[in-house]
Amino acid sequence: MNFEYDVVVIGSGPGGYVAAIRAAQLGHKTAIIEKDNLGGVCLNWGCIPTKALLKSSEVYSILKKSDYYGISAKEITFDFDKVINRSRDVAKSLSDGIGFLLKKNNIDHISGNAEILDENLLKLTNKSKDRDISFKNLIIATGASAKKLPNISFTSNIWSYREAMTPKELPKSLAVIGSGAIGVEFANFYNSLGVDVTVIELADKILPVEDNEISDYAKNEFEKQGIKFQIGSYVESVEEKKDGCHLKVVSNSDKSVSNLKSDKVIMAVGITGNINNIGLENVNIKTENGHVITNENMQTNVSNIYAIGDVAGAPWLAHKASHEGIIAVDFLSGLSVHPINNNNIPGCVYSSPQVASVGLTEEKAKEQFQSIRVGKFPLVANGKAKAISNDTGFVKVIYDKETGELLGAHMIGEGVTELIHGYTIAKNMEGTEEDIINTIFPHPTISESLHEAVLSAYDRPIHFK
Amino acid sequence: MPLTIYMPALSPTMEMGNIVKWHKNEGDSVSSGDVIAEIETDKALMEFEVADDGVLAKILIPEGTVDVKVNEPIAILMQDGESLDDITLSDSSEVSDFEEDVSTSNLLDHDIDEDTVNIDENVTSEEILVSSNINPDKENIRKFITPLAKRIAHDKGIDYSTIEGTGPNGRIVKSDIQNYKLSENNQITQNNMNLIDSNNQYIETPIDSMREVIAKRLQESHSSIPSYALNVDVSITEINKIRKKMNKDISDDMRISINHLLIKVVSLSMIKVPEINSSWAENKILRYKDTDIGIAVAIENGLITPIIKSVNTKGLAVIRDELKDLITRSHEKKLKPSEYQGGTISISNLGSYGIKSFTSIINPPQSCILSVGASRKIPVIKDDAVTIDEVMSITLTADHRLIDGAVGAQFLSSIKSLIENPNLMLL
């Protein structure tokens, strides 16, 4: 039976485009269907542009205290439009880069909307001509969209991440609902530029998925920077008035109500998979709680149709999507696949200070393991951190006392997002504490704190007591 | 390129086997996983599966051939488009597809640290170190395994050489060890379930690594060593007199006990009967110069046999001090592997429990074990009159491959005479 393509991928985010490139590498005739810009949310409206924005705010923050380093800089200002435009330029250039990669790999880039008709056929609709495309295998990588709260909709004043990164002008005050990575990064960004920021969080701590000590420390640091928090609270309603947004904030504990007024609101309360309008019902593909159900090889209940990335569920991380893309393609090509261990997927928050972690929190580790070893190393004891006068933060590791298995690593501080991979490599290779202890880390670097934290877990730190 | 099929090592200790039957003929097509031959080793009759697809082009070793060495070429497999003319028999030493050494240095390299070593991690290593020291030419099958999985396997005393890894390139990962343990446990539990009386209440106790090693070693010893026991009652009246004199005005912890004297006596007897001071090494016997003697020490939930080395060069005071230190550290689980590995004889004393006499299981690769019972007063005939003597029963359990009955008897007799006539120790 002849199909037009061996592999068709719907969606060109970090899941989709990586899957397509891998499929082409393995010799499949591949097409990728994208209704918007190449690169998906990550490149255009997520990971990439936010990091560009955060870099601008970082530069601004450093310049403001340049005198401390002996550098004089007067009248430090910023051009908000320029800050935003730079992030758009970065997004565009990367998106173009994806186009170049697809071409180089002989992947057909098809613009338009896809709707699945049956297990080997989909309907493409676009501006020019609708047509049917037949495929041997299909990979659904349609990503996810921002969730909204029951009584609150997105408007020109109540932003999702998309509006938050392309505002027309800098608001004077901002209420951020949700303190996950997205909420915290925006809060940090806007606060650095002088905006009055309040963050409202439902859970009893910010960054709910992180280790408790990290959450506490981070909240402390952000408060020092002037960000206000209302935790253990939810927003019942937002009224848009002439003088701004009026939020009704209710406390979980005593149901007391407080009023908060702010120019704009960012709603960052989670995302839900894009499972509508793609024809899933035509092939009876099973979904649950807003995402497509898959097995460990990323197959849906239809054996030649796969789903990867945000549309396939948590964790909603670009690197997880990319790996799933590779697993799906390797599997359909008959190669052996080693399934993803969710405990080995790192999570990062690019605020200042940064947060990076992998594996179990101390709380979860205590629940699941009989006895654990915890090692902590504060960056104030690290030479490089002191030398660059940025010694906020710490590194914490958790080991299974019985086997020496690295159960979790949690870091907060300068550049930790670039360092967490050290622990993920060790974890993925099932290294024990010995493997890290016997590794020589360069001096002076912040990375030495990774070594010291492990030494500390085994009661033998050198640079800390 | 045609593939040469080599005689496989179907177990880590296999050196050669017999080709009992070929299940395929020359010219037959075979697929990966097909059984192509039946191979007999000293332990079992096993089916040999071919790993690749192809045609069995040539059978090099006919069925019925015995003692075919591991890694000798036994057949040629041809793949698509090849002909017999392509064949040049490759050197049997060129073995493809073998991975990491199961050899001991790897098993031990994570934990040898000369100061204090946790016994639980190392009790397995004793067995493996000893047996592989004796077989230096043995071919090892290499297996890839992650550091964590290796350590867990080690701690649990699991031989991972037969486990199929599910990690990259067949690497064994933690979950493979965990699943293996689970399936092993399930097997044994299944078998025992039928025998357990469900009306009787019981508590399940997990098996820790020391118990597991004790179980494994002693089972192997008991089932593979042809042992026999010789028993004799030894009068300890004279030696007790000497001890009393020695220990007069000596503090409790500096006293010389019957055990110390026994250790010295055993050593002297081993010099007299040198066959005792030897160990069995599969196809040779190793005879030692110095006498290394192990003493069985009961510790919490288990047993360990620390060794006093070169007893022949040591006096009673040194023996006393060393034994005290070894026993203390045995209880603290702080013995170095070299302190409980080796030796050619062990002494086990259950006298303090009132046991009259008993036999013990030999600690391989030692040649024998001496079991000492409680002292007791019995009526004896001396000069045709009944008198009372204090005796203790000692039993020698010996490995008949090394120690024939007469030799064992000589040894025991020497011990008896030295204890009964302590002055002879000076000679």
Residue ranges of domains in chain A, CATH in brackets: 5-146+272-332 (3.50.50.60), 158-269 (3.50.50.60), 343-457 (3.30.390.30)
Q: Which of A226-235, B225-234, B299-308 has the lowest mean pLDDT?
A: B299-308
pLDDT, tens only, B160-183:
888 888 888 888 999 999 888 777
Q: Catalytic site residues of B?
A: 400
At residue B232, the pLDDT reads 95
B113, B145, B148: best to mutate for the A interface, most A CBs within 10 A? B148
Q: Which of A21-25, B249-253, B276-280 has the lowest mean pLDDT?
A: B249-253
**Shortest CA distance from B156: residue in chain A:** A403
pLDDT, tens only, A46-60:
999 999 999 999 999
Question: Between B318 and B100, where is the model more confident?
Answer: B318
> Over 60: is that where the pLDDT of B413 sits?
yes
pTM: 0.61
Q: Which chain A residues contact residue B110 at CB under 8 A?
A: 432, 434
At residue B194, the pLDDT reads 56
Residue B123 structure tokens: 């009790």
At residue B199, the pLDDT reads 64
Q: Under DSSP, is residue B306 helix (H, G, I), strand (E, B) or coil?
A: coil
Q: Return the residue matching tokens 């064994």.
A: B172
Output phi, psi for B300, to 5 deg: -55, 125
> Over 70: is that where the pLDDT of B388 sits?
yes
At residue B85, the pLDDT reads 60
| Nearest CA distance, A409 vs chain B (angstrom) | 17
Q: Under DSSP, is residue B98 helix (H, G, I), strand (E, B) or coil?
A: coil
A405, A430, A434: best to mutate for the B interface, most B CBs within 10 A? A430
> Over 50: is that where the pLDDT of B114 sits?
no
Q: Which chain A residues contact residue B147 at CB under 8 A?
A: 429-432, 434-435
CATH fold group of domain B226-426: Chloramphenicol Acetyltransferase (3.30.559)
Q: Which chain B residues contact residue A402 at CB under 8 A?
A: 155
Cβ distance A430 to B174 less than 8 Å, yes or no, reads yes
User: How far apart are alpha carbons B24 and A295 in whole angstroms?
Assistant: 40
Closest CA to A341 of A424, A273, A450: A424
Of A430, A434, A435, the CB nearest to B149: A430
- Chain B interface includes A432 (CB < 8 A): yes
Mean pLDDT over residues A171-200, rounded?
A: 97
H or E segment at B324?
helix B316-331
**Shortest CA distance from A429: residue in chain B:** B146
At residue B130, the pLDDT reads 35
**Shortest CA distance from A336: residue in chain B:** B168
- Chain B interface includes A404 (CB < 8 A): yes
Q: Under DSSP, is residue B160 helix (H, G, I), strand (E, B) or coil?
A: helix
Of B148, B155, B168, the CB nearest to A431: B148
User: How far apart are alpha carbons A401 and A422 in whole angstroms?
Assistant: 21
At residue B61, the pLDDT reads 87
At residue B103, the pLDDT reads 37
Of B110, B168, B174, the CB nearest to A434: B110
Mean pLDDT over residues A332-360, rounded?
A: 95
Q: What is the mean pLDDT of chain B?
A: 80
Q: Which chain A residues contact residue B155 at CB under 8 A?
A: 402-403
Q: What is the mean pLDDT of chain A?
A: 96
Q: Catalytic site residues of A?
A: 443
Give Cα separations from A349 to A199, A406, B367 (angstroms). Answer: 16, 21, 66
| Nearest CA distance, A429 vs chain B (angstrom) | 6
**Shortest CA distance from A340: residue in chain B:** B167
pLDDT level of residue B84 (50, 70, 90 thresholds): low
Q: What is the 3-state secondary structure (H, E, C) of chain A?
A: CCCCEEEEEECCCCCHHHHHHHHHHCCCCEEEEECCCCCHHHHHHCHHHHHHHHHHHHHHHHHHCHHHHCCCCCCCCCCHHHHHHHHHHHHHHHHHHHHHHHHHCCCEEEECEEEEEECCEEEEECCCCCEEEEEEEEEECCCEEECCCCCCCCCCCEECHHHHCCCCCCCCEEEEECCCHHHHHHHHHHHHCCCEEEEEECCCCCCCCCCHHHHHHHHHHHHHCCCEEEECEEEEEEEEECCEEEEEEEECCCCCEEEEEECEEEECCCEEECCCCCCHHHHCCCEECCEECCCCCCECCCCCEEECHHHHCCCCCHHHHHHHHHHHHHHHCCCCCCCCCHHHCCEEECCCCEEEEEECCHHHHHHHCCCEEEEEEEHHHCHHHHHCCCCCEEEEEEEECCCCEEEEEEEEECCHHHCHHHHHHHHHCCCEHHHHHCCCCCCCCCCHHHHHHHHHHCCCCCCCC
What residue ranges do the domains of chain B occupy? 3-86, 104-193, 226-426
Q: Which of A152-156, A238-242, B206-210 has the lowest mean pLDDT?
A: B206-210
Q: What is the DSSP letter of B172?
A: B
pLDDT level of residue A93 (50, 70, 90 thresholds): very high
Mean pLDDT over residues B333-348, rounded?
A: 87
| Nearest CA distance, B159 vs chain A (angstrom) | 17
CATH class of segment(s) B3-86: mainly beta
Cβ distance A432 to B151 less than 8 Å, yes or no, reads yes
> Over 50: is that where the pLDDT of B120 sits?
no
> Over 80: is that where the pLDDT of B192 sits?
no
- Chain B interface includes A403 (CB < 8 A): yes
CATH class of segment(s) B104-193: few secondary structures
Cβ distance A430 to B173 less than 8 Å, yes or no, reads yes
How many CB atoms neighbour CB B55 within 10 A?
18
Chain B residues in contact with chain A using a Cβ-Cβ cutoff of 8 Å: 110, 146-149, 151-152, 155, 166-168, 173-174
**Shortest CA distance from B144: residue in chain A:** A429
